[in-house]
Structures are given as structure tokens and as C-alpha cells.
Amino acid sequence: MPYEVDFTGFVSNTVAATWLERLRLQLMAEQFADVDLCAPQNLSVIARTTVEYVKPVRFTDRLEGQARVASFMNTSWTIEFSFRHATTRDEHLRAEQVGVFLDPVSLVPTRMPPQIRRRLAAMQDTRSTTEGSIP
């Protein structure tokens, strides 16, 4: 979008966080459609986001993003992202988000719910990914 472009003619670095959220939410909707992720016992927050800007993104570039669950542990999960040019397939951006499950009362890290753990394990076994386009 025009408002995502900074004064240099390149997409602003701050836009990457929005792209990650769009793909992460799409991944959750596709893979956890039958799980109430808003239920208090399923409280998960993003603890860390790392973005690597591999190549600049110009306003006219069309990117395709991919997200996949890379790993999970007792209380946390990691999603990896990659954004490639739709035509050249050059990678322009890669990122990682780490999230943790929190106890809804104390807000300290807690074990992830068993049904989510089972689903993440199945996703990792099949290398399930979510894809989306960024105009």
C-alpha cells in the first residue's frame, strides 16, 4: 500500500511486523479452526520477533509469504517466515517469532494445552505451511 512506503521508495521496515501477523493469523485459522484460541487456558503471546531484511522491497514488488511452525517446547512455539518475490523467487525477508503460553491469572509461562501440543506435533511432522500474497 502507498502508506507502507518510506521516503526512499522502499517499503518501510515497520511493515514487516504487520506481514508476520497476517501470515501467523492465517496459519492459526487454517490449522486451529476447531480450537478456541481466545479461551483463557489457551493464552499465548509473542515474546520475541526477529526480522532479517535480505533484500530491499520496492513498492512495485509482489511478495509471497510462507509461515511454518519450526519448533515447540513445553511452554513455547517458534514460527519461521519467508517472503519471496513472486516472479524471481528471490528471498527478500525472513523472520522468526517465538511465542509463550501464559497462565491467565498469574501471567507467568505455563505448559501449552495438550490439544494444541498435539496439533503442533502433527504440523511439524507434515511440515505444514501457510502461504499468502503481499501486494
Number of domains in the chain: 1
- Read off the pLDDT band of 29 (50, 70, 90): confident
pLDDT at 83 over 90: yes
Q: What's 88's domain CATH number? A: 3.10.129.10
Return the higher-pLDDT residue of 11 and 131: 11
- Read off the pLDDT band of 30 (50, 70, 90): confident
pLDDT at 129 over 70: no
- Rounded CA-CA distance 114/126 in Å is 19
Owning domain of residue 125: 2-134
pLDDT tens-digit profile of 54-79? 998 887 888 999 999 999 999 999 99
Predicted structure pTM score: 0.84
- Read off the pLDDT band of 10 (50, 70, 90): confident
